Amino acid sequence: FAGYISQVLKNYTDHACDGEYVSLRCPHRTTISIQSSFYGRIVPSHQMCPSRYPHSYATLIKEDVACSVGTSLQKMLDECQDRRSCQFLVNSRLFGADPCPGTSKYLIVWYKCRPNEYKSKVACEDDKLRLSCKKSMVIAIYSAIFGRTQGGSLECPYQTLGMPMIECQSATALQLMIKRCHGKRSCSIYASTYEFGDPCYPGIQKHLNVIYTCDNSPFLLPVDETQPPALSSSMEPVGVSTEMALLSNILAAYAFVT
């Protein structure tokens, strides 16, 4: 489970030079969710994706290091969004008009892996959020936001009181929700600043939005974490407490990077 969650939470990055294949892939039961994309060149070719043209020809045409196209994100969404894997050959013809002919370009894609089936729950500030799964299944948290998002929440309409619509979010909401709810059949938590701290200015209304799945993985069943993990003949830990320790480290790193 820790391995599965680490793959789901991870922000993936892939790149390919002109004339190479870019290949995106997500683990079982997840699909690609494109976060951002860039096609063009903003660093010299000796640092990334050397020019395929002969050196003598390259010296005749000054390399453009301020070159990008605005269609790369939409192209990646068209090719890969909501698929488990995708692959295609990178070249300027895919993205429309070439913004810098004669300059060798590259594609960089940032994406995440989103569970195929997930649930979303929202609780307004100071209300209790309850999560539950059917018998023999347990909770696996995918994302959690506590604060105020730019788009707001239909379940928790804001009373602006003359305050501007600003975005503010807790940096530890995801880590706290996984600590409180992962591996359990049901759990509850108050959407309060007592639990999550206050990431916003005083008086700004907040809400808690959690996306989760219900999983029947045996690694999620409750265990006594005070017992030392058993070791197989290969000396690899098979106890769940070790999996949870790994997960905690992954989440701490993820929260810090975020």
Of residues 150 and 111, more confidence is placed in 111
Spatial distance between the Cα atoms of 246 and 235, rounded to a whole number of angstroms:
16
C-alpha span between 103 and 257 (Å, rounded):
33
Query: CA distances (Å), 113 to each of 32, 84, 177, 217, in order?
Result: 5, 8, 19, 18
Look at the block and give the residue holding tokens 């969650």.
5
* Higher per-residue pLDDT: 90 or 250: 90
Work out the mean pLDDT of the chain and round it to a whole number. Answer: 77
Lowest-confidence pick of 44-48, 96-100, 135-139, 226-230: 226-230
pLDDT per position as a tens digit, 88-107: 999 988 888 888 888 889 99
Q: What residue spans define the domains of the chain?
A: 1-115, 119-215
CATH fold label, 119-215 = Jelly Rolls (2.60.120)
The predicted structure's pLDDT at residue 152 = 65
What pLDDT sits at residue 162? 59
pLDDT at 195 over 90: yes
Radius of gyration of the chain (CA): 23
pLDDT band at 87 (very low <50, low <70, confident <90, very high): very high
pLDDT in the model for residue 56? 46
The least confident of 3-12, 46-55, 129-138 is 3-12
pLDDT of residue 220: 44
Instruction: List pLDDT tens digits, range 199-229.
Output: 988 878 889 999 888 877 544 433 333 333 3
Q: Which amino acid is at 112?
A: K
Q: Do domains 1-115 and 119-215 have the same CATH topology?
A: yes
Architecture of domain 1-115: Sandwich (2.60)
Least confident range from 23-37, 41-55, 90-104, 236-250: namely 236-250
Most confident residue range from 38-47, 56-65, 112-121, 241-250: 38-47
Cβ neighbours of 39 (radius 10 Å): 26
